[in-house]
């Protein structure tokens, strides 16, 4: 099995606040990392186990990114992930929020790579770039 992509990011807020901001994906996700940046309007997250994560566009079109497989508000979010997967075989994203002395630490692990979706993995080296947008969102309050 191929190793997951991992990113750790210190944040200047408590875990619950960081979790809520992360789940508000549309407020920080860079449109360049969507199916159609010019028409991107947001991301709808249906909270809770089995909830959907859906990219939305101005023309009313939507693209499902995945389904929530673990939901522990303030601590952990795990979901399947189909964005930019030409194979049609999802990977898995797990995001943990741990208390730290001056806020919290986010640890993202993008795994679930196998022989069926491994060729999609190369598209996900920009997690640090995307998460800088998240850090700016959290820092702005």
CATH number of the domain where residue 130 is located: 3.30.530.20
Local structure of residue 59 (DSSP, 8 states)? T
Local structure of residue 102 (DSSP, 8 states)? T
Predicted structure pTM score:
0.95
CB count, 10 Å around CB of 31?
16
pLDDT per residue over 18-37, tens digit each? 999 999 999 999 999 999 99
Domain count for the chain, please give it: 1
pLDDT per residue over 44-101, tens digit each? 999 999 999 999 999 999 999 999 999 999 999 999 999 999 999 999 999 999 999 9
Report how far residue 98's alpha carbon sits from residue 107's, in angstroms, rounded to the nearest whole number: 8
Range of the domain at 75: 5-140
């Amino acid at each position: 099995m191929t190793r997951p992509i991992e990113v750790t990011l210190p944040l200047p807020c408590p875990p619950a606040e960081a979790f809520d901001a992360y789940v508000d994906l549309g407020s920080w996700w860079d449109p360049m990392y969507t199916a159609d940046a010019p028409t991107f309007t947001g991301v709808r997250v249906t909270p809770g186990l089995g909830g959907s994560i859906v990219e939305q566009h101005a023309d009313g079109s939507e693209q499902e990114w995945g389904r929530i497989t673990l939901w522990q508000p303030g601590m952990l979010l795990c979901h399947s992930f189909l964005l930019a997967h030409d194979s049609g075989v999802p990977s898995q994203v797990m995001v943990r929020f741990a208390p730290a002395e001056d806020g919290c630490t986010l640890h993202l692990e993008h795994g679930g790579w196998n022989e069926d979706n491994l060729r999609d993995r190369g598209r996900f080296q920009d997690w640090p770039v995307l998460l800088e947008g998240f850090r700016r969102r959290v820092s702005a309050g």
